[in-house]
Amino acid sequence: MQRVQASGNTRRTQTATLAGGCFWCLEAVYELVRGVDSVVSGYTGGHVETPTYEQVCTGRTGHAEAVQVTYDPSEVTFGDLLNLFFTMHDPTTLDRQGSDFGPQYRSAVFYHDDDQREAVDQAIGALKEAGTWKDPIVTEVLPAEVFYPAEEHHQHYFERNRGAGYCQVIIEPKVAKLRKEYSQALKA
């Protein structure tokens, strides 16, 4: 757990590491959530040290495109972040999100402690029990590993490239869904 200085007060933050397809999509959503301090796009879960985007895109490094979210648990809980995670991507498609396919686009939660592991198990159990998804959930639940931040041009991608086709067709609908269904969770 990190200590962050905020307005003269010391507060505790926590980290969540989530992979749900293209990291640009998750980053765009989590950057808007109240209580989220930062979102970094990157790579985790693989066997190559300091991988590049080009290497990860081959599908041979074992890494998933992921985001590392630093958040204030007094404003947003890990459970809240998981709820958004399971709403903003399809956790039933193996190594695929929409037209993006390969192991780098897999659904995975990389837990940082036993409490997070338990929360993920409970969230997946609740989704199964509710019959939220017709197909089985294939989200991997793994201990957090080394997280490598992606290259700078991948950071805040949606914010800087709203006019790009991928942003308009793929990311904007996710952001619109967030604004419509979770308006109470957004930053002011």
- Can you tell me whether residue 151 is helix, strand or coil? coil
Has 167 been annotated as catalytic?
A: no
**DSSP secondary structure letter of residue 55:** H
Of 22, 25, 57, 167, the catalytic one is 22
Q: Rounded to 10 degrees, what is the CA torsion of 16, 186, 178, 119? A: 30
- Output 54-58 pairs: Cβ under 8 A, ≥24 positions apart: 56/104, 57/102, 57/104
- Output 170-177 pairs: Cβ under 8 A, ≥24 positions apart: 170/22, 170/25, 170/98, 171/24, 171/25, 171/28, 174/25, 174/28, 174/29, 174/88, 175/28, 175/29, 175/32, 177/87, 177/88
Answer left, alpha or beta for residue 12, where phi above 0 means left and psi between -120 and 50 means alpha. beta
Residues classed as catalytic: 22
